Structure 1
Amino acid sequence: MNDSLQSSCKDIVLIHGLYQNSLVMKLLGRRLNAFGYKTHYFDYPTLKQDLSHNTSALKAYLREFKQPFVIIGHSLGCILTLNTLHQESFPLLQSVIAITPPFLGSRIVKYLSEHQSVFLIGKAQNALTPKDDSLSWDFSIPLGIIAGTQNTGPSALLLESLTNTIEKDSMISDGTVYLDETRIKGFTDFITLPKSHTMILFDPTLPQLCDYFIQHHHFHSIVDLV
């Protein structure tokens, strides 16, 4: 990787997740602005358009960048990023940070599919359907993964309380995505925050972790950030 490009990288593309729009990423964006970054927001319809359509839109959006940039995705936005990079390379892309990424799919989506409730996921169903663990990050671009560990949310309700498919508290999750669903072979570094799936975006240490990864391609210790 070109070190001069890495050191001059000041542009960040923030990509939201399911049921959201760019507003949910604004606080993180403002906090990253304080580190000197210029933030950009990619909005896409998470329910009304499928992964293929949104990938085409993201490719067109990223082609407009003429300077080094970083992508920070949340949840479904991480899958969208992965699918986009499988289809096209972006030489100016310096690194990717994936926040609570369901890279291997979601058990919740599987449950909804099996119980005729997949309409709640809309056209994001295929993107979030569980995959085998052979999926890998086959790019030279550094990938940092930040996962949550506060199990309050749909996964606790649907999977543990209702379906009893997973023994309560036997697996760590952020209340929506389980920890083992976030890891993809080939990632550069991995860290967790004690936050739920969406609330992790508002954690004050999150922008610090992102900034450190952008600069060094690994995460700083949480203890040192508090």
Structure 2
Amino acid sequence: MVINGVTMITKVVVLHGLYMSGFVMRPLCARLKKQGYGILNVSYNTLNPDTDKIFAQINDFIADDQCAFVCHSLGGLIARQYLSQAFPQTDQVKKVFTLGTPHKGAQIARHMQDRGMQALLKNSLEYLVSESQDWPFSAQLYSIAGDLPFGLLPLFEQGKPSDGTVMVDETRVSGMAQHKVFHLSHTSLIYSRKVVDYILAQLKT
């Protein structure tokens, strides 16, 4: 879509987080769809992500249109891997919104690994413990974090701002366009009207 000579984002890829499915992202998708965006709500096995299948779905959906990503937690790390690929469609991704994504790696996953609980994470572990200090992609990153510590993480990391699962600092990397903190827990980031309103405002910019 071209408005006043400017090509606009018309499609949004939505990626859920660990132990979830596309079902939990439906309310968020409905809000975006109501504003006229085409939506691909990807469901995938978070313990064993089949990235070949996921990326093929995304490429077919994007085609030649400008696109954004909205990702919760692990979904943002899957998006990072997608953008690192040499697909022609990656150039069409203009904005990426991550909700509680541990770009620097998730300390809670490291604690689980140290305690021999890595079997609970399976192949998602390779994403969750990876450490990235920057955002090297042309797509603009809007990293959204929560600081309502409702979860297990405060048992291991006391006194550090978090959403209960991911520390606020783990969501900050150099090169991001914006970093926004809401007083929300890890899961409630998905369902917050304030978060969706923020995303919609940035999409229309």
TM-score by length of 1: 0.82
Question: Within the alignment, does 1:71 sit opposite 2:73 as a pair?
Answer: no
What is the alpha-carbon distance in structure 1 between the residues aligned to residue 181 and residue 59 of structure 2?
Answer: 32
Report how far residue 141 of structure 1 moved. 1.2
Determine which of 175, 193, 201 is the counterpart of 2:182: 193
1:87 has 2:85 as partner: yes
Give the whole-Å Cα distance in 2 for the aligned partners of 1:58 and 1:4: 29
Distance in 2, Cα, partners of 1:194 & 1:121: 27
Pick the aligned partner of 1:147 from 145, 148, 152. Answer: 145
1:61 matched to 2:57? yes
2:192 to 203, 207, 215: 203
The size of the alignment, in residue pairs, is: 198
Write the distance in 1 (CA, Å) between the matches of 2:86 and 2:187. 29
Quote the Cα distance in structure 1 between the aligned partners of 2:44 and 2:152. Answer: 23
TM-score where L is the length of structure 2: 0.90
Equivalent residue number for residue 125 of structure 1: 125
Contact 2:94 2:138 in 1 (8 A): no
Structure 1: gaps (5+ residues): 160-165, 217-226
Segments of 5+ residues of structure 2 without an aligned counterpart are none
- Counterpart of 2:203 (choices 202, 209, 214) is 214
Percent of residue pairs bearing the same amino acid type: 25
Tell me if the contact between 1:75 and 1:98 (Cα under 8 Å) persists in the aligned partners. yes
Q: Give yes or no for contact 1:99–1:147 (8 Å, CA) kept in 2.
A: yes
Cα drift, residue 22 of structure 1? 0.3
Is 2:162 the partner of 1:173? Answer: yes
Instruction: Look up the SS of the partner of 2:41 in the other structure.
Output: strand
Deviation at 1:198, TM superposition (A): 0.7
Supply the RMSD in Å over aligned alpha carbons. 1.7
1:7-26 to structure 2, matched below 5 A, reads 7=8, 9-26=9-26
CA distance in 2, matches of 1:152, 1:27: 21
Deviation at 1:120, TM superposition (A): 1.4
CA distance in 2, matches of 1:142, 1:94: 6
> Helix, strand or coil: the match of 2:71?
strand
